Structure 1
């Protein structure tokens, strides 16, 4: 080994010392080839050559042989499964495969440099995560749209809705005085009348108010009320007019108190 290579001192992350000691440790598997920084070794050797006034071709040639051997060891250690594959190939096939892998390595190296530059340029940029660019986009087929109808619908939503009427839920009671006057006028024309006949067509509320009007007139002593039996027709007459049952001829004085 030339003195320039033998005396080369290395200061790497995984090793510190002379180059020939590193080779010995690698051959004895004391150090894994994947842990050795080949670029650091090459830089250290170039710096050592730069310190001399003349170029030592013998040292350079020997160093190239050694560094190539180290690269082969590291490559086999990184890709152990491919070693047997290459061993079964013919020399021409192995050369083509090596060229292909070198070209692929060159592409990966260029891509790595591009990614590093992009990272440096966009380090201060922040963006919102979205769907994957290769995700399938749904095919949304819409029918022919009419913008004017959309405008009309929007106008309809902007109009205040009408106030909801609750009048149908309220009970309206007519005044009792209305039926009092009605019965008084009826008794002026007739001496007696049938309550059920006069209340036909009226609602339950109006019939209840009309019955209250009868009780009011009876309280004042203006009328007499008679009913032959429960649930039979109610007959009203003037207070001075006797009531006769038309079936058996007996007089039935039916008052509100007895009802």
Structure 2
């Protein structure tokens, strides 16, 4: 029997972190060997729901966990302030990174790519692990060949820290790859409330909604003379992301450098 892939989860007490712990622990090809979260303490390490049934070390200090368990892969579902530092620590220890945390800047992605190559390991930055969301982005890129106008509306739970979402940014980038460089629309607009027309990425408007009760949703709305086309994806439960998380962990084995977007691993 082949050796299992040894996995740790950073941000283990978050909603995505908890789902990842369950998914990794249930997969026969993976071995869950540890969890990290700044909320851990010596008093509560084994008292956090699913963790009570797992015999794994749980520390607030990621570097301490890495030194103790020597994992093959780190999955990061932390926050935009912590993810870059976590990834640097992991890559410097020759640990493959699977990053679901959004908010990394372009210069940070470049630095992580260089660090991955320097340490002969890989880093996957995945804006969305849902297979349906990846298909939505692919279909949007295809539709861009036939429509010249589009806006994106992304909707998430009210605890999401960054806006717009990584999925919305990636979608706009894919559409702009198909379109190439285009001049701004020759339309004079008056925003009665600043920002009401959304953010602008390559002349594509992106609108962010944050409300309790939502998980992760996105609409890509194309418009043309006499018609419109809406491509929408909805995630109603975080369990829907887990097949993608597990797949990326396995696909990244032996890869070097940066993979940005799950469509590059399908």
Q: Which range, TM-score by smaller chain?
A: under 0.3
TM-score, normalised relative to structure 2: 0.20
TM-score, normalised relative to structure 1: 0.20
Bigger radius of gyration, 1 or 2?
1
Higher normalized strand content (fraction of residues): 2
Higher normalized helix content (fraction of residues): 1
